[in-house]
């Protein structure tokens, strides 16, 4: 595994690999790697000759400076994990390398960023678009891999990839869960033992909501999920929305033809977790 810190070196390396006819799969991350990330790397390996992974805790996507400060940074452990899977290139740039000057670009995501994460984390998706577009320019991958846990992020990345005319296929990969159902997330390692014992209620309530949806309206299902989770003293629901899986418009009626996804954000003390589930009714 080659470890590269400098964007020029990576540009050069990728150019040579592409001239030789290699396809490139790219897995951008903020580190604190877990099995969810490793599954993205597995998909990238299956589809491509070369897999590039980046680790960069991107300051511009944190609307809360506290969240940025406490985001886990364990690059040495991550590097050891990556050595055990097939990762050909690890890109670990510094902040100066990615933002040598203030990047003032604005993006138009249509309606996609007006709901859920976009509504509750002002500026978050602009930060994601800033960094992902910079990384795409450097890595120039054929395919890029993202986890479906960040459901809205994937929709927004698809949108700007098309708008900015990147010739990159965006692949979304299934959520990987712990044995008790909790969606894997780098933030899970920040949970206390007590919090960790309680957070599986989030995914378990989402699973149960699928059953409830068979006899409840959309609004009743939403109210039920929020009530059950909020009854737990460790958990505080920020939002739970059931949306069209493409437009992210709210679903009002189970008979609507669109694919339906229930997306949730929950505060657990100072930690914020997200998850989502498909409804098939
Ligand atoms: O999903 C993440 O980890 C981040 O938002 C990403 C896509 C690596 C951009 O910083």
Among 31, 53, 132, 272, say which to mutate for ligand 1: greatest number of ligand atoms within 8 Å of CB: 132
In the numeric block, the tokens 């699928």 are attached to 210
Output phi, psi for 119, to 5 deg: -75, -35
- Ligand 1 site, CB within 6 A: 28-30, 58, 61, 128, 131-132, 150, 153
Q: Check residue 116 and give its pLDDT.
A: 98
Angle between the N-to-C axes of helices 218-230 and 193-212, in degrees from 0 to 180, rounded to the nearest 10: 160
> Where do the domains of the chain lie, and which CATH numbers do they carry?
2-173 (3.40.50.620), 186-275 (3.30.1300.10)
Please check the confidence at residue 90 and state whether its pLDDT lies above 80: yes
Give one DSSP letter per residue of 164-231, joined into a string: TT---EEEEEPPPB-TTSPBP-GGGGGS-HHHHHHHHHHHHHHHHHHHHTTTS-HHHHHHHHHHHHHT
Q: Which atom of ligand 1 is nearest to the CA of 150?
A: 1
Q: Model pTM? A: 0.97
Q: How many Å apart are CA 20 and CA 10, to the nearest integer?
A: 15
Q: Which atom of ligand 1 is nearest to the CA of 28?
A: 8
Q: Which DSSP state fits 263?
A: E
Q: Which atom of ligand 1 is nearest to the CA of 29?
A: 8
Summarised one tens digit per residue, pLDDT across range 36-80 is 999 999 999 999 999 999 999 999 999 999 999 999 999 999 999
Output the average pLDDT for the chain: 98
How many angstroms does the Cα of residue 28 sit away from the middle of ligand 1?
6
Q: How many Å apart are CA 112 and CA 123, to the nearest integer?
A: 13
Summarised one tens digit per residue, pLDDT across range 181-237 is 999 999 999 999 999 999 999 999 999 999 999 999 999 999 999 999 999 999 999
Going by alpha carbons, the residue nearest to atom 2 of ligand 1 is 29
Output phi, psi for 145, to 5 deg: -115, 130
Confidence of residue 89 (pLDDT cuts 50, 70, 90): very high
Give the number of other CB atoms < 10 A from CB of residue 214. Answer: 11
Q: How many Å apart are CA 94 and CA 157, to the nearest integer?
A: 23
List, by residue number, the catalytic residues.
37
Please check the confidence at residue 96 and state whether its pLDDT lies above 80: yes
How many angstroms does the Cα of residue 30 sit away from the middle of ligand 1?
6
Q: How many Å apart are CA 99 and CA 107, to the nearest integer?
A: 17
Summarised one tens digit per residue, pLDDT across range 157-179 is 999 999 999 999 999 999 999 99
Is residue 55 within 8 A of residue 90, CB to CB? The reply is: yes
Among 67, 72, 123, 150, say which to mutate for ligand 1: greatest number of ligand atoms within 8 Å of CB: 150
3 state DSSP class of 74: coil
């Amino acid at each position: 595994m080659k470890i590269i810190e400098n964007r020029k070196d990576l540009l050069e390396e990728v150019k040579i690999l592409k001239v030789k006819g290699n396809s490139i799969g790219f897995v951008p991350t903020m580190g604190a790697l877990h099995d969810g990330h490793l599954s993205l790397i597995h998909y990238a390996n299956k589809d491509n000759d070369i897999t590039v992974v980046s680790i960069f805790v991107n300051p511009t996507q944190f609307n809360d400076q506290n969240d940025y400060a406490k985001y886990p940074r364990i690059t040495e452990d991550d590097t050891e994990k990556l050595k055990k899977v097939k990762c050909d290139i690890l890109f670990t740039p510094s902040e100066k390398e990615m933002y040598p000057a203030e990047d003032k670009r604005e993006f138009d995501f249509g309606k996609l960023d007006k709901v859920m994460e976009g509504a509750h984390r002002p500026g978050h998706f602009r930060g994601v678009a800033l960094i992902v577009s910079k990384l795409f320019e450097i890595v120039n991958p054929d395919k890029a891999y993202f986890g479906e846990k960040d459901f809205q992020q994937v929709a927004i990345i698809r949108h700007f990839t098309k708008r900015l005319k990147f010739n990159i296929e965006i692949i979304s990969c299934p959520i990987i869960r712990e044995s008790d159902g909790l969606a894997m997330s780098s933030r899970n390692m920040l949970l206390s033992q007590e919090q960790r014992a309680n957070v599986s209620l989030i995914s378990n309530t989402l699973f149960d909501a699928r059953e409830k949806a068979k006899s409840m309206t959309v609004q009743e299902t939403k109210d039920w999920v929020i009530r059950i989770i909020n009854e737990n003293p460790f958990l505080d629901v920020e939002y739970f929305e059931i949306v069209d899986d493409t437009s992210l418009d709210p679903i009002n009626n189970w008979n609507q033809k669109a694919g339906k996804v229930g997306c949730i954000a929950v505060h657990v003390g100072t930690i914020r977790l997200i998850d989502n589930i498909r409804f098939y009714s």
